Amino acid sequence: MTQAITATGLKGFLQWLQQDQPAVYTATAAKIAKAVPKGFSGFNGSVLQAARLRVGRRSMALRGYGALGCCAAAEPAMSAVGTCATLATPNFCITDTSCAANSGVTCASSLSGVASIINSVTSAALTAQQQSQYNTLLQTQLSRASTGLSPLTLSSSAAGVPLIPGLSSSGSTVLLLGAVLLYLLFGRRA
């Protein structure tokens, strides 16, 4: 590992994964974002939360409860339609999943599927012993992420796991190639 990562939680874990195994990160980042939406609440939730807040305040104003739906003292005054004039700016970090993830403590139950997503992609490229070593490393880093700590400066190559070259983000390509190979070997018998 060339650079220490100071980010904590899921954000730190994803930055570690991106630095340690870039092809694995590329193949799994989108799946992790879908599997752990709570880990990206600052990214996914800000726009949705703003919309819910706007609808709720408008509903309260239309019912005549303008004071109950009013913005907090720290926020700007209500506009004519019952919404805050200014809402929190969402985090528009679309190009990189690791920068969109939350820092700090991440619920362990939210991270339970992350290792299985990564292992499903790496299992075809690693031997059983390498997979076991890599899974141990992943579990160590994920347990630190769940407690809100930054990842350890460990690398998979130091643990005996090679740098994995480009991977497919789904197993369908591997299955298709396997089916074609089986057809060519056994299917042409007449």
Question: How far is 23 from 164, CA to CA, in rounded Å?
Answer: 7
The string of pLDDT tens digits covering residues 147-157 is 888 899 888 88
Which residue has better confidence, 177 or 79?
177
CB 141 within 8 A of CB 11: no
Over 80: is that where the pLDDT of 28 sits? yes
Instruction: Name the band, by pLDDT with cuts 50, 70 and 90, for residue 17.
Output: very high
For residue 101, give every residue at least 6 positions away whose Cβ sits within 8 Å of its Cβ, in sequence order, or none.
9, 10, 11, 13, 14, 33, 39, 40, 43
Question: 136: which residues sit within 8 A by CB, 6+ positions away?
Answer: 159
pTM: 0.60
